[in-house]
A and B are shown apart, each in its own frame.
Chain A
Amino acid sequence: AQSVAQPEDQVNVAEGNPLTVKCTYSVSGNPYLFWYVQYPNRGLQFLLKYITGDNLVKGSYGFEAEFNKSQTSFHLKKPSALVSDSALYFCAVRDGNYQLIWGAGTKLIIKP
């Protein structure tokens, strides 16, 4: 069965430093992976997705994600964090029924 794990409940980063939010997955077949962001009292917003092709995927707000097939990972990255990046981040994988299986979420806190 498909699954996705976000091993960190919370990540703390100083403003201006690079950030990484981790995601690992388990799928049968080709993985289709997504990152979404949730700001307080709002719905989730799509950031980026990996379907096929380049292992480095670029998305909204300066975020990118690195797909690593051998490590079954899809970590979210940003070279220089902003305070406004503080939010809840969700990784998801598409299952065989074309539904999304969601990770538990990682709270990202960027300190000034």
Chain B
Amino acid sequence: NAGVTQTPKFRILKIGQSMTLQCTQDMNHNYMYWYRQDPGMGLKLIYYSVGAGITDKGEVPNGYNVSRSTTEDFPLRLELAAPSQTSVYFCASTKSLRDNQPQHFGDGTRLSIL
């Protein structure tokens, strides 16, 4: 049971570089999310998607972009990496929002910007 898979697990970037964090799920979930987790701050929603071709901003979208061309994949793009983007990034998915179904999380990508 793969669930939600995130790659890479770790990455170090230089300021100004770009990269894409990959996320794929095999549960046929329509709803997908990107969060960042900073120490002592809980989770902050970056972007979310309610289905293929539909994305929307969360609480902290600046500096990030997303796309959702398929149900399975929801990549997160950092165009110009900044030290403030050093964080742990989690992708999650759920079957239903209205039915309060639990979110399933990947194991995260630990990103350092130096």
Interface residues of A (CB under 8 A from B): 9, 32, 34, 41-46, 49, 51, 90, 94, 98-100, 102-105
Contact = CB atoms under 8 A, between A and B. Distances in A.
B105 A43 contact: yes
Contact of B40 (A49, A99, A104): A104
**Range for the number of chain B residues in contact with chain A:** 20 to 34
Given A99-B58, A102-B42, A103-B42, A44 B97 contact: no
Interface of B: 4, 40-45, 48, 58, 90, 92, 97-98, 100, 102-108
Given A42-B107, A43-B108, A98-B97, A49 B41 contact: no
A25 B48 CA distance: 23
Contacts of A44: 43, 90, 92, 103, 105
Given A41-B107, A42-B107, A99-B58, A32 B42 contact: no
